Structure 1
Amino acid sequence: MLRRLYDWTISLAARKSAEYWLAIIAFVESSVFLIPADVLFLPMALAKPNKTWRYAFIATVASVLGGIAGWFLGYYAYEAVAKPVLELYGKLDSFEHLRGTTSADTILLLLITSGLAHLPPIKVVTILSGAAGVNIWLFIASAIVARGARFFFLAWLLKRYGEPIRDFIEKRLGMLAGLAAAILIALFFAVKYFNA
């Protein structure tokens, strides 16, 4: 099922309505969808390099708005809506553990790492931010920085290197971003606990 969903998402890049689909996918990825918007963003940017920055802007704005929707799901509708969605994706147990043991500053760090590297998945962190009552304005600022950095960095790579960089982005960039996110998290906890 996941492979069909992935293939369907990629097929949207060839449509005239691709920009709308990019906005929709980026929006729902931040609150409930499994497939990252990168899957649609990459082929669109490679097909029309003159619109790469526009696509990055669309993806960033829609992703931040989707994150806000995820925050509201967590804050106002955790039991009725967010909990069943997390259960559907098999993330409820890890979410409940995070919710019970994570401070607001750690949640903001997770928002940045998930925005940059999908670690943990962005939808989990946006819902967690609302459920934990993270300040909405701080959440929005962090989401803009994290998601904007991701999409505009991808746009820069594609503008600079074009099609040859696609394989690197699809296969290795996620691993490198994940490694950078893990280092950032480790540094955060090291500073937090050594200064405690």
Structure 2
Amino acid sequence: MQSLLDSIEVSTSFFISLGAPGLLAVAFLEFFMLPIPPDLVLVPLAVANPEFALLYAAIATAGSVAAGLAGYTIGKKGGRPALDSRFTGKRIQQVESYFDRSGFATIAIGAFAPIPEGYEILSIASGVFDLDIRSYLLASVLGRGGRYFLEALLAVMLGEAARSLTEVEIYSIVGVVTLVVLVAYLLRNWWLPDLSASPPR
């Protein structure tokens, strides 16, 4: 286990040394099970070059969404077997129930949340369940972009202190924000008036 962690640390340092191209590569390849999250490359780059922090966030978003689009295409062309061959039946059933309620919100929140394989299964499921491609891309950009821009801004605010943040700490911050967004989404009908209701006469 320690040798694996050491290998990941060395690989992460390598991608950081490549700068923006390394970040783009990690953001794309992570979708296909590369054990290096883009977050660990994005944050050090944003700390080292705060003037480019938002650009780095945009690059990470572009790479991740491009990979997600590949997953969407796999689901679209491969159908249900594309899901069955990669994920357990229980997880597929859960995702399907989420899509039945709101495919757009499922993608947006899932793309933002730091859930292992979460964005992968949701992207493939979007193709399988025939989610509109424009809705999929918009939700992906909002979710992935929201996460990476949040991390980039956090890196700029904390400065050198952000370098010491572990993957768990970064994900904990993102997780708290995800929880707040999720609760706000679930309570939206209570907070907002029914816009479709007729005004009183």
Q: Please indicate, yes or no, whether the TM-score normalized by the shorter chain is above 0.5.
A: yes
In structure 2, list runs of 5 or more residues that go unmatched: 195-201
* 1:11 alignment partner, SS class: helix
Distance 1:129 1:179 in 2: 25
State TM-score, norm by structure 1: 0.76
Q: Tell me which residue corresponds to 1:125.
A: 122
Q: Which amino acid aligns with 2:130?
A: G
Q: Which amino acid aligns with 1:144?
A: V
Distance 1:148 1:136 in 2: 17
In structure 1, list runs of 5 or more residues that go unmatched: none
* 1:102 alignment partner, SS class: helix
Q: Tell me which residue corresponds to 2:97.
A: 101
Specify the structure having the higher radius of gyration (Cα). Answer: 2
Identity of aligned residues (%): 22
The partner residue of 2:12 within 4, 10, 13 is 10
- Is the contact between residue 117 and residue 181 of structure 1 (CA under 8 Å) also seen in structure 2? yes
Q: Tell me which residue corresponds to 1:159.
A: 156
| Count of aligned pairs | 187
- Is the contact between residue 95 and residue 122 of structure 2 (CA under 8 Å) also seen in structure 1? no
State TM-score, norm by structure 2: 0.75
Q: Which moved more, 1:38-47 or 1:91-100?
A: 91-100
* 1:61 alignment partner, SS class: helix
- Is the contact between residue 9 and residue 40 of structure 1 (CA under 8 Å) also seen in structure 2? no
Q: Tell me which residue corresponds to 1:46.
A: 47
Q: Which amino acid aligns with 2:178?
A: A
What is the CA-CA distance between 1:142 and the residue it aligns to? 0.8
Q: Tell me which residue corresponds to 1:141.
A: 138
Distance 1:106 1:36 in 2: 27
